[in-house]
Structure 1
Amino acid sequence: MASRVAFRPELILCFSPARSKRNARSSRVSMASTIRSSSATKVETPRKPFTPPREVHVQVTHSMLPQKIEIFKSLEDWAENNILVHLKPVEKCWQPQDFLPDPSSESFFEEVKELSERSKEIPDDYFVCLVGDMVTEEALPTYQTMLNTLDGVRDETGASLTSWAIWTRAWTAEENRHGDLLNKYLYLSGRVDMKQIEKTIQYLIGSGMDPRTENNPYLGFIYTSFQERATFISHGNTARLAKEHGDLKLAQICGIIASDEKRHETAYTKIVEKLFEIDPDGTVLA
């Protein structure tokens, strides 16, 4: 799930020279601060360091009429039969290690070297996109939090057995593999400044996200339907470009993630279609 949320304002994508000698295409990508630091500059520690670094708009909460919660309760069985079927059993799911060098293998270091050599042929602007995809995938805690703000479908206990709660947890578990895989690939490639990227991820999750869904599952599921489509397109594009640049393994990685996103899109759009069927006026307004 690659929701397009903004990075911390003083952070930008940039390139820095690699420590070792590389060709013109193999500079390192980093998420770097535009704030200059020097011994002569006094940097003041903000009084509230965890306050979002932007002005927050007036937030609307619980905009759905209470009686409409019954609609989602009545859809429990429908969700079990029509939404949970778009999840895969864990034992049938791919895992990040399926696409990465095996650290227990005698050929591990050689495989890492081959991965790094392939990545040298990929231009910097591609890595800007790939890092952006990875960072937004790594903000998964934010997206699960958002889903669990929605009235009538949230996981009330953390282990609720409602169909909506089961979906949210299992969807999160499937999505978790995406950031893990891209993170490990980028680390092994040697093409990016991982510490700056890790800081960016921490800033992003700490800042949170308000997509203005107002605790309203009508708004929430319409948002996720569009968002999963955007993610499918984004990962599909990076797969196509990786193939053009000669890294077939990276193309496979991005492609398998894109296929997950397409499956998730199908589930979320099914929910919206059902809402159009039983409450067309409310869904159109959303």
Structure 2
Amino acid sequence: MRDLLLAWAKAKAFADTEVEHDAYYALKRVLLPTVVAFSVLQRGLDEGQSRMLSEWIDPLVRKIDRTFDGVVDRNNHRYLADSVLMTWGAVVRDEALYAKGDERYRAILAEARPDGSLALETRRGARALWYMRQSLASLTVMAEVAATRGTNFYDLRVGEVNFDRVLSYLLNGIAEPNVAMAYASENYIPGGETDARRQDLGFLTKRSHGRHYMAWTEPLVARDRAGLATKRLKALFVRNIRSDRPLIDEFVGGNATCFWGR
């Protein structure tokens, strides 16, 4: 991992990423596991190696803190960006970057409906639950980064909504996809399936390329938390997800089973 990252840094990888929201979305996705890899390696690097990697990663992270004057500045694209900013901020002790994630986490809870659904995600037709799950991945990353500082985001409540309320909405939708229909019927950019009644639950199984979109559940399952939402998630994990380990996904920083699995 060290040699790979050093080779990327020497080549100035991703420095010429096109300034366009889809290209930047791809950059955000590669940066989170890159930042996590650096944090894992950091104590074993010599001063020169650490400086080379830091000087390569830092401007890339700051580059994704960009707005495109559209929905992507407020939906799961932004959640991912702020999870990267917050994680890098925690690693290099940059309080301004760390605050980006702190503020976004609270904003997500404030914008959620009382039932825990997120308006910009649940309108996505057959992929309403897909994008709810993706948003929860970024919320989990931000909560776990906060936990390294002794801050409990999982129990943070804004109005009627906390993490468990958002999680419960997803679990309700998995159990009964029609739960999402009231919002999914808007059918905004639904993807390949245009029938909003046919919710895409493909995120519950391991992908052919080895990724698992439910990898973010590992830290939640490892935590000793009370509450119905956690119990339901653990039951789902045992029933549908655990057998697919290791659970790897860039949205949670890489190999979640390695980081958190028991």
Greater helix proportion: 2
| TM-score (norm: length of structure 2) | 0.24
Tell me which of the two structures has the higher relative contact order, counting C-alpha pairs closer than 8 angstroms and 6 or more residues apart.
1
User: Computing the radius of gyration over CA atoms, which structure comes out larger, 1 or 2?
Assistant: 1
Structure 1-normalised TM-score? 0.22
